[in-house]
Amino acid sequence: MFSDTRDILRAIATTVVPEAKALTESEWADVERIIASALSKRPPAMVRQVMVFLRTVQRLPLLRYGLRFTSLDDARRAQVLNWLQENRIFLLRKGMWGLRTLILMGYYARPAAADRIGYRASARGWQAIR
């Protein structure tokens, strides 16, 4: 699903979750699988919108920095993403928050990440930790 946008997704992900820089290829595959699984439950039009938004994020910095998103340093990447999530244009804000949510889900839904942060979700709810 992410063959032509993989580098963009990873650049955004490492900006949103800096710890993602340490992921192995296998762990990245898990992140992408989780995101792809979530998107597979959505209408095809929404999946296309996510892909268009990824490509938009890649090109937007050309206007200000003369570089694509994947060529920016960490500080400029963060500026671009902050600009998007606080933008007065609702669609840009909505796109950024949706993409951010997918990335956080992809990263933290991995069992290794859940273990690392001590997340112990259970169908029994709070009773499970008592």
Tens of pLDDT, residue by residue, the chain (130 residues): 667 899 999 999 999 999 999 999 999 999 999 999 999 999 999 999 999 999 999 999 999 999 999 999 999 999 999 999 999 999 999 999 999 999 999 999 998 887 777 666 667 766 666 5
Locate tokens 């998107």: which residue?
39
- Give the end-to-end CA distance of the chain in Å, rounded to a whole number: 41
Rounded to whole angstroms, the Cα distance separating 80 from 112 reads 29
Structure tokens at 50: 């996510």
Consecutive H or E run containing 11: helix 6-16
Rounded to whole angstroms, the Cα distance separating 84 from 91 reads 9
Contacts of 42 (CB under 8 A, 6+ apart): none
Q: The whole model's pTM is what? A: 0.87
